[in-house]
Structure 1
Amino acid sequence: MDVRSVINNKYNRYLVEPFDIIKLQIIQHLDVLLFFALVMMKVMYYGKQISPDYFSADSLRPPVIASMLPFLAVAFLFKEKKRTNYLYIINIIISVILFADTVYFRYFKDIISVAAVRNSLQLKGMGSTIMSLIQGKDFYYLADIAAFAPMIKSFNKHKQNIINVKTRLLLFAVVLSLGIGLDGKYIYELSKDQPMLLTTMSNKVYLTKILGNINFHIIDINNFVMKEINSLKPLPSERKNEINSYLDNKNNSQGNNLTGYGNGKNLIMIQVEALQQFVINAKVNGNEITPNLNRWINKSLYFDNFFYQVAAGNTSDAEFMTNNSLYPAASGAAYYMYSGDQLNSLAKVMDQKGYNTTAFHGYEDGFWNRNVMYKTEGFDKFNGETSFNLDEKVGLGLSDKSFFNQSLDKLKDMKQPFYSFMVTLSSHYPYDDAKGYGNFDITGYDGTLLGDYLRGIHYADEQLGMFLDKLEKDGLMDNSIIVLYGDHNAIPREYIDQLYKFENISNATDLQWYQLQKVPMLIHFPKDQYKGVNHIYTGQMDVYPTIANMFNLDNKYMLGKDIMNSSEQWVVFRNGSFTDGKVFYVSWTNIYYDISSGSTILETPQLKKEKERAMNELSYSDDILNSNLLKSFVK
């Protein structure tokens, strides 16, 4: 007896056992039940992957259920057989997104957004890196798709189209209303707890952890569409005035330490791939990991509380901040999204001051859109891969040894004064291509990502030391200021336990994780002047304002601070976390830490104001870039 006869035949309805009716109804709606159960398990599993320490199934389950209901509502518009095919396709789409999000998170510590997909060229040439991030357990998301594929046709044969149009429309309306109502409730509650988070998307991980992966992508799509629509409208004059006033008040001069010191001197800025502070002055098996950097730090002004502040753009975000003192994009990469903006960048202002400006990087000219962005930023010339002799390769491209040797020859030929911006490459993740270079002993760390990194950064340190020594020997350093810093983290959170073990940290907190996200930053002055250690909390946003002070450049359109003349220890991260040097706020858990004691503290009215200030600063930066405000600000 089939389902149709059970339901439509009044006589049979009274003769058939209730258990048979329930059984037949389960079979008839098995596709709905399976879709609901499988997608629920996958989304919850993903939530556990991105937030293992703070995962709460009880709090995540309700918004995940709510996010699935609109998909089920649409399913009821179809006749039963077509409904199965629809749910199978939606399952495939969600599963592939979860798979991609998991792999993306391992590298970027972020969630894939529409803007990141639109700027997918940022992943060009990183196939081996991406493949190294995929783990066997990731195929959990896809296992059921392969298993159920041959069953779909057979399953549909045993199903009848028995629900009439009116009933399907009623089911659609009820389930959709329930889903939207519940979703609206959870989203509203988050908006009250975290104002501006839903619009700025400053902390995508926290948003996903609270609302679930499906809701995140729906909100992201909505924000992307609204942003595209709003970009066609001019920013209200009141908002422009508010931002302009904030910039004016922020960049009032607070002192004159080293003001104008760099006039007439060369500026050589070196951004070192994946250089983190934990390797500085550290040893492995009795050997210094970075002996050359250790030596040059002792001859320079060194900042030991300097943080990277990058987002999804990683290396390119570090470049963007140090050359523009504006925050990276909330989603995607600034080097793609804002290459058409008018910028008041370091290279452009130095060029106006009569400096020759050149960028150097030993990889593909178009990677991270550098060949376009460097022109936007006002560099006179870009020496990319096509400008070098590719005589030796380590990792992605030209070895640091060859890169520095060839770049030094180019520097000698440049008319002084000049600004050269150099980005290294050999110490790029996954650090497994420096094994044949140098004999650094990593016994005890063999076969680990950390071990490969230690060997890779030791190689990079050797090449940096040779380059700096040659600059000094050739006399070029006598009239040059050197700024050197790391761009982003080296050890992905997926492998953070290796770093905790290296640092002898047990029961680590998010504060300790953040404290390990410092990168070295040193400024070397001619004749080793002003050497010492500065403990101010600072970050990549502060590099340009500091250089602007030393070279007498206009600093009006910068969101960072001049660390030579500021006592403020303000550092804001793209995800909404921030520190004032005494307290560290971690946005993805909404927890404040006292830095000196390491203990958690309650939010005070003052801390709430600081959180609002951080969100406002990120919002101001977004408006400046999304509305190309510098085109009207800069005269």
Structure 2
Amino acid sequence: MGQALKKVRSGLNTRLGFFILAVLLFSIKSYFAYKTKFSLGVSGGMQQLLLAFNPVPFAVLLLGLALYMRGRKSYWFMLLIDAIMATWLFANILYYREFSDFLTFNLMKGSSAVSNNLNQSIAGIIHPTDFLVFADVIVLIIVLAFKWIKMDTRAFKFRYAAIVSGLAVLLFGANLSLAESDRSGLLTRTFDNNYIVKYLGLEAYTVYDGVKTTQNNATKANADSSDLTSVQKFLSKNRVAPNVEYSGVAKGKNVFIIHLESLQQFMIDYKWDGQEVMPNIDKLYHSSDTLSFDNFYNQVGQGKTADAEMMLENSLYGLPEGSAMVMDGTTNTFQAAPAILDQQGYTTAAFHGDVPSFWNRDNTYKSWGYDYFFSKSYFANGNKASYNLGYGMKDKIFLKDAAQYVQQLPQPFYAKLITVTNHYPYIIDSQNESIKPFNTGDSTVDPYVQTARYLDQSVGEFMSWLKKSGLEKNSMVVLYGDHYGISNNHKPAIAKLLGKKKVTNYDLANFQKVPFMIHMPGLKGGIKHTYGGEIDVLPTLLNLLGVKNTDTIQFGSDLLATNRKQTVAFRDGDFVSPTYTKYGGDYYDSTTGKQLKKLTATQKRTVNDMQNYVTNSLAASDKVINGDLLRFYQPSGFKKVIKGAYNYKKSAALKQLKKANKKQKTSVVSKNNGKSTMSEYQTDAPELKK
């Protein structure tokens, strides 16, 4: 035994021995992280084997670079590479914990757009065991520092280093072959990053993402008008005629888009602590003049809120990685709702109680054709610390301050108001608490009910003002949840909230439902059961407003159409429909929730048709955005947006608003003989009472 240990010690005192130890420790650490920090959906012996093996090829390749260096530098370079890989793994663990996805180059490129206020979020995400990913680096530093392993300063022959590099390539080839045998088309057909990490490892995924990003950049540079042909062919084949009964029923009405941050459908009619959690939104949902949809899904990817905005106002999907608003919002050509309605005589404005650069809104909104963008600096209470929480102004204060400008907008107008208080990490100060937290035992999930209640109260106050100011009777109010608030990484808590022992992938698919409702006095309302998502909002609204929409590049359809396709695409390529659900690689009968472990020939044909539609729809939308193809196409009657015509600087915008009111005299204030309606706005915000 002692002789064997002596040989091992002697081997570790060579550079090759130290390298093998570093590779081994890195692989063990990576496997530990894959198993405990990510939800990769590993099943079966082959997938378990690949999960354990896939860290090895890139560890051999990257750590092996140090073998080309001389003396002590080789050891320190090996430690540096190991530390960089550990840091990258650590960053992905934190990101994955709340967003169920991995970091991408596009996301990092746009990191400044989402960095505001992230310190609080990160503090809530980190678990002590996350730091174990640095354990191998620390161990290697210690054994060298205390000379338990001595540095071998002898020259390591170049040909041996090259053999190690060659071995890494062979190992990766074997890894890829085994992966392809278990999941064919892994690198060409998947929309889910989890598959790539599961089969090939985090480092391979990073390389894959880098290649893809470079290819997308080249695509835009090389794109031309002929690239639109396949897109238009797909849209023509799948275009559905809108509902004639509802066409134009809201013609000439103001449009409010109220963005319900992170609000999920399960909260509708939810009772907790002996109370109805959201009485105001529930009342709207069940109103006879509200169209409500109980099978409406969020379809966002990594861009989350930005993806929801992209779909809502363009009927284009977000990108498979990063945010299209960040990556393409400044330079791409769009034919968005604000521009469409502006050319129909509408004043268009967006309201957000945070900095204008968040998600690159200050540039993207110009590309979309917004006349005004009222951000934090516009609001009297915007810069007071106690009036802000998490990602911007508290909703009650924000909506009241926004109303000050809403009443000045020439009618008809299109106004989008983005709430933020119901955003992770669901912070609420004690003076604004009105319901006790959930008792799931998950510290991330439990305060969600408190911020959701606060959001509901905020909406209730705003809707009350709309009625008192007279705006409600001449407006269509659209309320929607942008994405999930509670991620799939909180399964025990989700099960408890849903009253289940445990949740299946079918339950998680349905947990992606978000509220969507359209309220207007006199509207023939009711709860609609059609399956749809955020991609369908724009065609639905344009039909209600009586706006021609027959030759646009849009991937959704009118939610009220009688013969619409009801297959809802998720960004990763999964889908839901009234008949079948595919989520996390599993298939379910949508009517019973029963898993279909073995599909019949008929079922296979049906789900394959659905999958082809989803895959082709996502790919065609990506083609439009990545190639900036709308620069080559203009619907009849639509004028191209001139981005330089918009100025969101406060002094310039307010001057423009004043000028518009003198010319049109259709704003609420103008019709009220110059008198403000703000005395009608009642809020119980304790900060304002002080």
TM-score of the aligned structures, taking structure 2 as reference length: 0.84
Counterparts of 1:97 and 1:358 in 2: how far apart (Å)? 40
1:127-177 CA-partner distances (Å, limit 9, x unpaired): 21122111111101113323433543546744242543344434443x144
Aligned counterpart in structure 2 of residue 470 of structure 1, from 446, 465, 468: 465
8 Å CA contact 2:577–2:590 kept in 1: the answer is no
Specify the alignment match of 2:158 in structure 1. Answer: 165
8 Å CA contact 2:313–2:338 kept in 1: the answer is yes
Deviates more, 1:39-48 or 1:225-234: 225-234
Counterparts of 1:42 and 1:84 in 2: how far apart (Å)? 19
Equivalent positions of 1:6-17 (< 5 A) are: none
8 Å CA contact 2:445–2:486 kept in 1: the answer is yes
1:219-278 CA-partner distances (Å, limit 9, x unpaired): 1122222323333222583x4211121122332425413112221111111111111111
Counterparts of 1:564 and 1:53 in 2: how far apart (Å)? 36
Specify the alignment match of 1:407 in structure 2. Answer: 402
1:343-372 CA-partner distances (Å, limit 9, x unpaired): 010001000111000001111111111111
8 Å CA contact 2:317–2:535 kept in 1: the answer is yes
Q: Secondary structure at the match of 2:281?
A: helix
Equivalent positions of 1:163-242 (< 5 A) are: 163-173=156-166, 175-186=167-178, 188-189=180-181, 192-194=184-186, 196-197=188-189, 202-235=191-224, 237=226, 239-242=227-230
Counterparts of 1:508 and 1:447 in 2: how far apart (Å)? 16
Give structure 2 stretches of 5+ with no counterpart: 636-690
Equivalent positions of 1:315-330 (< 5 A) are: 315-330=305-320
Counterparts of 2:339 and 2:153 in 1: how far apart (Å)? 70
Give structure 1 stretches of 5+ with no counterpart: 1-16
Counterparts of 2:443 and 2:158 in 1: how far apart (Å)? 60
Aligned counterpart in structure 2 of residue 127 of structure 1, from 102, 114, 119: 119
Give the C-alpha shift of residue 72 in structure 1. 4.9
8 Å CA contact 1:310–1:488 kept in 2: the answer is yes
Specify the alignment match of 1:431 in structure 2. Answer: 426
Aligned counterpart in structure 2 of residue 574 of structure 1, from 568, 571, 575: 571
Alpha-carbon distance change, 306 to 272 in structure 1, aligned in 2, over 3 angstroms: same
8 Å CA contact 1:303–1:522 kept in 2: the answer is yes
Equivalent positions of 1:216-615 (< 5 A) are: 216-235=205-224, 237=226, 239-299=227-287, 300-339=290-329, 340-390=331-381, 392-442=387-437, 444=439, 448-527=443-522, 529-551=523-545, 552-555=547-550, 556-565=552-561, 566-586=563-583, 589-601=584-596, 602-603=598-599, 604-615=604-615
Alpha-carbon distance change, 564 to 114 in structure 1, aligned in 2, over 3 angstroms: same
The one-letter code matched in structure 1 to 2:11 is Q
Counterparts of 2:609 and 2:186 in 1: how far apart (Å)? 13
Counterparts of 2:220 and 2:627 in 1: how far apart (Å)? 7
Alpha-carbon distance change, 63 to 549 in structure 1, aligned in 2, over 3 angstroms: same
8 Å CA contact 2:478–2:518 kept in 1: the answer is yes
Q: Secondary structure at the match of 2:431?
A: coil
Alpha-carbon distance change, 164 to 33 in structure 1, aligned in 2, over 3 angstroms: closer
Counterparts of 1:413 and 1:20 in 2: how far apart (Å)? 84
Alpha-carbon distance change, 531 to 229 in structure 1, aligned in 2, over 3 angstroms: closer
Counterparts of 1:19 and 1:297 in 2: how far apart (Å)? 72
The one-letter code matched in structure 2 to 1:280 is I
Counterparts of 1:161 and 1:73 in 2: how far apart (Å)? 16
Give the C-alpha shift of residue 457 in structure 1. 0.8
Q: Secondary structure at the match of 1:592?
A: strand
Equivalent positions of 1:44-83 (< 5 A) are: 44-48=31-35, 49-51=37-39, 54=42, 56-79=47-70, 81-83=72-74
The one-letter code matched in structure 1 to 2:396 is K
Q: Secondary structure at the match of 1:231?
A: helix
Equivalent positions of 1:617-632 (< 5 A) are: 617-632=617-632
Deviates more, 1:442-451 or 1:339-348: 442-451
The one-letter code matched in structure 2 to 1:415 is P
Alpha-carbon distance change, 269 to 291 in structure 1, aligned in 2, over 3 angstroms: same
Whether 1:25 and 2:11 are equivalent positions in the alignment is: yes
The one-letter code matched in structure 1 to 2:217 is E
8 Å CA contact 2:555–2:617 kept in 1: the answer is yes
Superposition CA RMSD, Å: 2.4
Specify the alignment match of 2:678 in structure 1. Answer: none
Counterparts of 2:429 and 2:553 in 1: how far apart (Å)? 41
Aligned counterpart in structure 2 of residue 101 of structure 1, from 77, 92, 115: 92
Q: Secondary structure at the match of 1:142?
A: helix
1:486-540 CA-partner distances (Å, limit 9, x unpaired): 111111333332221121111311110121121111111223x322110111111
8 Å CA contact 1:111–1:204 kept in 2: the answer is yes
Give the C-alpha shift of residue 103 in structure 1. 0.3
Counterparts of 2:528 and 2:477 in 1: how far apart (Å)? 16
Give the C-alpha shift of residue 403 in structure 1. 1.6
Alpha-carbon distance change, 83 to 613 in structure 1, aligned in 2, over 3 angstroms: farther
8 Å CA contact 1:435–1:455 kept in 2: the answer is no
1:447-479 CA-partner distances (Å, limit 9, x unpaired): 833331111110110110111122123221111
1:387-444 CA-partner distances (Å, limit 9, x unpaired): 1112533433222112222222322221111111111111121112243214323474
Deviates more, 1:159-168 or 1:31-40: 159-168
Alpha-carbon distance change, 74 to 264 in structure 1, aligned in 2, over 3 angstroms: same
Counterparts of 1:441 and 1:181 in 2: how far apart (Å)? 55
Whether 1:85 and 2:76 are equivalent positions in the alignment is: yes
Specify the alignment match of 1:633 in structure 2. Answer: 633
Counterparts of 1:553 and 1:127 in 2: how far apart (Å)? 46
Q: Secondary structure at the match of 1:357?
A: strand
Deviates more, 1:352-361 or 1:249-258: 249-258
Q: Percent identity?
A: 26
Aligned residue pair count: 611
Specify the alignment match of 2:616 in structure 1. Answer: 616
Q: Secondary structure at the match of 1:618?
A: helix
Q: Secondary structure at the match of 2:245?
A: coil
Deviates more, 1:43-52 or 1:261-270: 43-52
Specify the alignment match of 1:11 in structure 2. Answer: none
8 Å CA contact 1:257–1:564 kept in 2: the answer is no
Alpha-carbon distance change, 66 to 395 in structure 1, aligned in 2, over 3 angstroms: closer
Counterparts of 1:171 and 1:465 in 2: how far apart (Å)? 66
Give the C-alpha shift of residue 382 in structure 1. 0.4
8 Å CA contact 2:303–2:323 kept in 1: the answer is yes
8 Å CA contact 1:31–1:87 kept in 2: the answer is no
Counterparts of 1:142 and 1:466 in 2: how far apart (Å)? 50
8 Å CA contact 1:303–1:536 kept in 2: the answer is yes
Counterparts of 1:191 and 1:231 in 2: how far apart (Å)? 30
